[in-house]
Structure 1
């Protein structure tokens, strides 16, 4: 074999080696690329799964938190509605009680102070006693429930109570019974008594009516019947 043939053979061998190397390199690249693509897909699938799992956990936690908040808000709202309802009922009872006391004061005071207006089967002493009892009942109910009323209405009630206290004291200055020995011995005192009582009656009749109308208005407004 001459050197030319040797060179040709060597070149042929080298070319074959290069071709084989290139083929191996290409095959290796393809295998690596295929492995990398599969690994990447698995990683992406796992990552997507983790994301979905995390998202589901976040949604579950958010739903549970929202449910707890909704429950707490509902509980607070129910408690507030219950307290408001109880206060509403309590205020109605207070107004009803005060209206009744003021009405009784008006009825019995009118008959106590006038010689022409008498309630059947009741003495003047009994009628005046009912005035005092109704006044004392009003004193028991109003002071601890003044927060239910506006400052303007409280001022009217306070003024009425103060004047009623003065009226009760004024009525007690003279004996109530017109046949009392004091008047028999001194008829002029009986005339003075009548004038004083008539003045008291005219003074408080309008104030009682105003308070009755104001309390009745408050009561109807709470019931929604205005």
Structure 2
């Protein structure tokens, strides 16, 4: 009987120790898993925070670049509008009826207008990347209208020379030098001015003014 009791005591003691070992093992594994999961969560939070910071940096850089581009475009818009206005002034000087009899031979006004037209065209070509293709087409078309006034005045001067050379040549009605001259002046004061004001409205919308 004593032997059996000792065996039972040993068995119970062994089971108790084994149970404790198993319990401690499970506890250690659980705690280790909790620590691993917590570390993983912390890493994810850190990664998320870093990613968010990178996005904020990229967003800020984009806003700075966009602001600079918008400011640069604003300067280009101002230059081009100013060029169109100055070209209009040149056309007014070229087409005004308040000129002396030397209007047919004086090339100063013609050369000033032609030079300003070429300068404006070059300015537009150099800065096409700042505008949509539709707006570039609109600006180019507007310049063609300005150019048409220059050509009409040159035609008027050419007609005037034929009319005064003693040959008695006369152009069809509405094509005489004075008729062309007056028509060019009228177009400059009305159509060309209205065209510039329309461009001003387009530019204003473009820069958000």
Pairwise TM-score range, normalised by the shorter structure: 0.7 to 0.9
> Conserved in 2, the CA contact under 8 Å of 1:88 and 1:222?
no
> Aligned to 2:142, which of 150, 155, 160?
160
Distance 1:30 1:63 in 2: 48
2:176 alignment partner, SS class: helix
Q: Which residue of 1 aligns with 2:103?
A: none
Distance 2:120 2:21 in 1: 89
Q: Which residue of 2 aligns with 1:63?
A: 45
Deviates more, 1:151-160 or 1:96-105: 151-160
> Aligned to 2:119, which of 137, 141, 146?
137
Q: Which residue of 1 aligns with 2:98?
A: 116
Deviation readout 1:99-140 (Å, 9 max, x if unpaired): 11111122221222021389xxxxx75444432232122111
Q: Offset at 1:21?
A: 4.1
Larger radius of gyration: 1
1:172 alignment partner, SS class: helix
Q: Offset at 1:209?
A: 3.1
Distance 2:54 2:157 in 1: 66
- Structure 2 length-normalised TM: 0.74
Q: Which residue of 1 aligns with 2:181?
A: 197
Q: Which residue of 1 aligns with 2:200?
A: 216
1:116 alignment partner, SS class: coil
Distance 2:191 2:19 in 1: 97
**Structure 2 unaligned blocks of 5 or more:** 101-105
Deviation readout 1:133-171 (Å, 9 max, x if unpaired): 321221112124334445544333222223333432343
1:79 aligned onto 2:61: yes
Q: Which residue of 2 aligns with 1:10?
A: none
Q: CA RMSD in A?
A: 3.4
Deviation readout 1:39-85 (Å, 9 max, x if unpaired): 12321232123213312331332233223322322232123212211
